[in-house]
Amino acid sequence: MARPVAFISGAAQGIGAAISLGFANAGYDLAVSSTKKDKLADVIASCTAAGARTVPVELNVTSQASIEAGFATAIAAFGQLDVLVNNAAITMPRMAVDVTREDWSGIMDTNLTGTFFMCQQMGRHLIGGKRPGTIISITSTHGVLGFALRSTYGISKAGVMHMTRMLAIEWAEHQIRVNSIAPGTVLTASRKEYADKTPGYLEKMVERIPLKRTCTPEEIAGAAVYLASPSGSYITGQTLLLDGGLTSY
């Protein structure tokens, strides 16, 4: 029996790398993408060691031609795709009064527009092949709560959450489930490196979180695998908040 296939964007490090390995451990083969293929060596090695056939894809989600070429590469390698995880995103801390049109376009083109057209390409693939499938987009609690310096990023992520609902309704008849995951503060390697150099940073971060700790990339991976699994087969149009209770206040 053929292994299911997941396509992960923004897979080179952090959350994307953890999600890729999570799907590899769950029995999936993988197409993993980044803006540069050479950034994918480590995640390919870890997923291959876990038993997954892993294909690198060079992908820039701000380019329609790149999206179409990326899907063509992944489909040529495996014949079909079953799961898409939209993780590619950028952030740009700015006070709202300082945001330029270039700043705005940079965030929106990647986080919102890029995510939509990745979903569209996956939808076309699944509908055209009359196959069920799952789409999962990584959003953020910044799309639910207000934060200084994150207005543009938060607006983009709120847009992805509503996109999730709209596509879930439109594609339900095709048995395509569309969900998103909104993490709170995630202790990635880069954030840990920053925290180690900044006394009191983590303490300040966890002070407002009811569980008094940050989220791990592996916990996000576990949630993504769950949403794609038979155990999550009745879930669509939802945003799963992985925030330690932050949005429960």
Residues known to be catalytic:
153
DSSP 238: -
Place of tokens 């929106």: 108
The number of beta carbons lying within 10 Å of the beta carbon of residue 37 is 15
d(CA 148, CA 37): 34
CA dist 237 and 6 (Å) reads 19
Give CA–CA dist 108/102, Å, rounded. Answer: 10
Reading the block at residue 9, the tokens are: 């964007």
Instruction: State which H helix or E strand residue 115 sits in.
Output: helix 115-128
CA distance 73 to 9: 13
Tokens read off for 176: 């395509």
How far apart, in whole angstroms, are the C-alpha atoms of residue 186 and residue 244?
Answer: 11
Half-sphere exposure of 142 (CA within 13 A, CB side): 21
Size of the chain, expressed as the number of residues it contains: 249
Q: How many CB atoms lie within 10 A of CB 80?
A: 14
**DSSP 8-state assignment for residue 167:** H
